[in-house]
Chain A
């Protein structure tokens, strides 16, 4: 059993340093209760990966992470035969005839994250990060793992999970995921939090920050987000900004400070220009 109820999930995630809203807590609870993977989408930097880490921390489970990238294949995601070892074994066998087992045994199997997660006996959180970066074929590979928690190895047979891991998939929507993956997962969209929750997050993440400064930062970031920008500042950027200001020992956010440190939050020239203009930062 992972979490007792959505409320319990929220409070235990909060203890692990992750402030979850109701939808997030409910999804985390359902992922455990229904034993279904959760697909987490949302803008970059809202804490998608952090959610998986927090679930692992709060349930004292081990985190197994599969970082996806273009060109990721079976050999990196599932398992691989250690052919160097197999080769040596075959050569050595000629001298020691008492070694007569085949070369497709457990000792030649290199387990990769997906297989590792399935074979673990202890509670495990499997994080499949940025699944949108992979090719479509890998998605097909994942389907068996996601729906039945099993892996078929032609030489060994099917390995079924002794203890189902809690699976979290994250996506930045660089590519449409297939219906098949979506259907097998619970879906959670994490958006930018409201001002109150974001302030709590900043206070929790940044050491030695004043309450008022955190409030000012979050207010300004929210004002910036209400503009129509190319890249909206995320929570990660609010936290960076807070750290910057703490490091610079600036206690209050006035227009001059915002103007000089805007590069921490906005990373496009046109966005910066727009923010300066709309927030009335520079006096002519």
Chain B
């Protein structure tokens, strides 16, 4: 494969992963690589990154694909080491010749040795050594017996399972701090530092596994199957724990961006009456002729917002994020009230304090979910009825009502008349559904029934959520 082909395939894989790489940007990249040369891998990476990655959210996907197409090393056992790494610490395997590496043992003694080395590396936080150990770990413990003859496969799950670096944390803590009288603050700090190292080891193992897979099956194949969508495109319902933390961090900048946009639109929207003084003052520049008229800004008409959230297991994340975003933007609305429900209704407006910590607020919300649940099975009909009975004053002709949920009501009574009445009382009603449109109305989903009364909007990821909230205010 020539270099040009590799470049083209690389750009193609980036596009498949959702990065908008234009033809011009591809050409820029080629020109950049031409002037930079291919001597240093990290320079090549920086060159590509500067020319084709134009958003920071795309960077993780880019790095992953770059590692697949421009691997740091090629080969199966692949422990190509310079002598400086681990030469002092008595790390035997690094200094073995390549011939020996082909028959790396994976017996219990090897495992114990390996874990000991890994513990040292984690305690020291030595990135190079961790990378080397990750590669060795995959060679030794990550092998899946090939399906066909001569076919090798590796799995990060196997490595994690046998090496289980998480269990080393306690051991390292003992080694670093002694077994007794520790300072709890220090212990927490060290524990967090070690956990970070463990996470980075796991990442290294994962990337080595995909590098090997790329060699066997081709980088395009692996890129298509392992690169996750960027955080703003990721479905709420498919988010993992780490993704959720990242999304939580994204909420605040997002709200800030949205608030700027809304404030600008507010200002641009129509002009008020003539600002006489300003117009006259400006006319001085043109010899007393009022060429440009200036106007006072219009008084903004703000709306009340009432949010009803389904917080049952499957959609809780989505509801929480939307609530966080809405409350981060509360100055854009006149008044915001929020209610959560499973089969009982519970007001959570007070959980949102100005300037509170987002992580804490989310934890409090999760804790308060128990009040929203009586039997623990979602029932939209019951929740709407209870809402209508208990808070008859919540809906006014100025209120925008927002309902968050997947409309999966466990085949219970939908209380459509009550919902119709709510729709009648409020100024506008929207229903945000975190499920893909094609799943609406399947199984116990009453999306179509409710959707006939109030417009239902698909809202699966942060991008769609931002767009919606932006249009709302």
Closest beta carbon of chain A to B175's beta carbon, Å: 21
A187 to chain B: which residues have CB within 8 Å? Answer: 49-51, 53-55
B36 to chain A: which residues have CB within 8 Å? Answer: 6, 26, 29-30
B87 to chain A: which residues have CB within 8 Å? Answer: none
- Is A176 an interface residue when CB atoms closer than 8 A count as contact? yes
A30 to chain B: which residues have CB within 8 Å? Answer: 32, 35-36, 47, 50-51
- Is B252 an interface residue when CB atoms closer than 8 A count as contact? yes
- The CA-CA distance from A23 to B192 in the complex, in Å, is 28
Contact of B359 among A182, A223, A226, A228 (CB under 8 A): A228
- The CA-CA distance from A176 to B20 in the complex, in Å, is 15
Which of these binds chain B: A92-100, A202-210, A267-275?
A: A267-275
- Is B203 an interface residue when CB atoms closer than 8 A count as contact? no
Pairwise interchain contact B192-A226, C-beta atoms closer than 8 A: yes
B32 to chain A: which residues have CB within 8 Å? Answer: 30, 33-34, 186
Closest beta carbon of chain B to A169's beta carbon, Å: 12
Pairwise interchain contact B185-A280, C-beta atoms closer than 8 A: yes
Contact of A230 among B20, B252, B260 (CB under 8 A): B252
Give B318-354 interface residues, CB cut-off 8 Å to A: none
- Is A173 an interface residue when CB atoms closer than 8 A count as contact? yes
Contact of A23 among B49, B186, B188, B287 (CB under 8 A): B49
- Is A117 an interface residue when CB atoms closer than 8 A count as contact? no
- Is A175 an interface residue when CB atoms closer than 8 A count as contact? yes
Contact indicator per residue, chain B 64-101, by CB within 8 Å of chain A (1) or not (0) = 00000000000000000000000000000000000000
- Is A27 an interface residue when CB atoms closer than 8 A count as contact? yes
Contact of B248 among A176, A228, A274 (CB under 8 A): A228
- Is B471 an interface residue when CB atoms closer than 8 A count as contact? no
- The CA-CA distance from A269 to B354 in the complex, in Å, is 11
Give A176-211 interface residues, CB cut-off 8 Å to B: 176, 179, 182-183, 185-189
- Is A159 an interface residue when CB atoms closer than 8 A count as contact? no
Contact of A6 among B43, B184, B196, B355 (CB under 8 A): B43
- The CA-CA distance from A182 to B21 in the complex, in Å, is 11
Interface residues on B, range: 35 or more
A41 to chain B: which residues have CB within 8 Å? Answer: 56
Contact of A26 among B47, B252, B253 (CB under 8 A): B47
Pairwise interchain contact A269-B355, C-beta atoms closer than 8 A: yes
Pairwise interchain contact B50-A83, C-beta atoms closer than 8 A: no
- The CA-CA distance from A38 to B360 in the complex, in Å, is 39
Which of A26, A33, A175 has the most chain B CB atoms inside 10 A of its CB?
A: A26
Pairwise interchain contact A270-B59, C-beta atoms closer than 8 A: no
A279 to chain B: which residues have CB within 8 Å? Answer: 185, 189
- The CA-CA distance from A185 to B54 in the complex, in Å, is 8
Give B161-213 interface residues, CB cut-off 8 Å to A: 183-186, 188-189, 192, 196
- The CA-CA distance from A23 to B62 in the complex, in Å, is 14
Pairwise interchain contact B286-A83, C-beta atoms closer than 8 A: yes
- Is B220 an interface residue when CB atoms closer than 8 A count as contact? no
A270 to chain B: which residues have CB within 8 Å? Answer: 355-357, 360
Pairwise interchain contact A22-B42, C-beta atoms closer than 8 A: yes
A83 to chain B: which residues have CB within 8 Å? Answer: 285-286
Give A39-55 interface residues, CB cut-off 8 Å to B: 39, 41
B183 to chain A: which residues have CB within 8 Å? Answer: 280
Closest beta carbon of chain A to B376's beta carbon, Å: 30
A186 to chain B: which residues have CB within 8 Å? Answer: 28, 32, 50-51
- Is A87 an interface residue when CB atoms closer than 8 A count as contact? yes
Pairwise interchain contact B189-A223, C-beta atoms closer than 8 A: yes
- Is A174 an interface residue when CB atoms closer than 8 A count as contact? yes
- Is B256 an interface residue when CB atoms closer than 8 A count as contact? yes
A173 to chain B: which residues have CB within 8 Å? Answer: 253, 257
Pairwise interchain contact B35-A33, C-beta atoms closer than 8 A: yes
- The CA-CA distance from A176 to B25 in the complex, in Å, is 19
- The CA-CA distance from A1 to B471 in the complex, in Å, is 48
- Is A36 an interface residue when CB atoms closer than 8 A count as contact? yes
- The CA-CA distance from A176 to B55 in the complex, in Å, is 10
Closest beta carbon of chain A to B73's beta carbon, Å: 20
- The CA-CA distance from A214 to B56 in the complex, in Å, is 30
B25 to chain A: which residues have CB within 8 Å? Answer: 183
- The CA-CA distance from A186 to B36 in the complex, in Å, is 14
Closest beta carbon of chain B to A134's beta carbon, Å: 11
A70 to chain B: which residues have CB within 8 Å? Answer: 264
Pairwise interchain contact A175-B260, C-beta atoms closer than 8 A: yes
- The CA-CA distance from A274 to B356 in the complex, in Å, is 10
Contact indicator per residue, chain A 3-42, by CB within 8 Å of chain B (1) or not (0) = 0001000000000000000110011011001101011010
- Is B4 an interface residue when CB atoms closer than 8 A count as contact? no
- Is B245 an interface residue when CB atoms closer than 8 A count as contact? yes
- The CA-CA distance from A128 to B185 in the complex, in Å, is 45
Among residues of B, the one whose C-beta sits closest to the C-beta of A176 is B257
Pairwise interchain contact A174-B192, C-beta atoms closer than 8 A: no
- A interface residues, Cβ below 8 angstroms from B: 6, 22-23, 26-27, 29-30, 33-34, 36, 38-39, 41, 70, 83, 87, 135, 173-176, 179, 182-183, 185-189, 223, 226, 228, 230, 268-271, 273-274, 278-280
**Additional A-B contact list (4), CB under 8 Å, known A6-B43, A280-B184:** A27-B50, A176-B257, A186-B50, A269-B355
Closest 7 CB pairs of A and B: A280-B185, A26-B46, A182-B54, A186-B50, A270-B357, A23-B46, A189-B56
- B interface residues, Cβ below 8 angstroms from A: 20, 22, 24-25, 28, 31-32, 35-36, 42-43, 46-47, 49-51, 53-56, 59, 183-186, 188-189, 192, 196, 245, 248-249, 252-253, 256-257, 260-261, 264, 285-287, 355-360
CB-defined A-B contacts under 8 Å, sample of 26: A6-B36, A22-B43, A23-B46, A23-B49, A26-B46, A26-B47, A27-B50, A30-B32, A33-B32, A33-B35, A36-B28, A173-B253, A175-B257, A182-B55, A183-B54, A186-B28, A187-B50, A187-B51, A228-B357, A230-B357, A268-B355, A270-B355, A270-B356, A270-B360, A274-B357, A278-B188
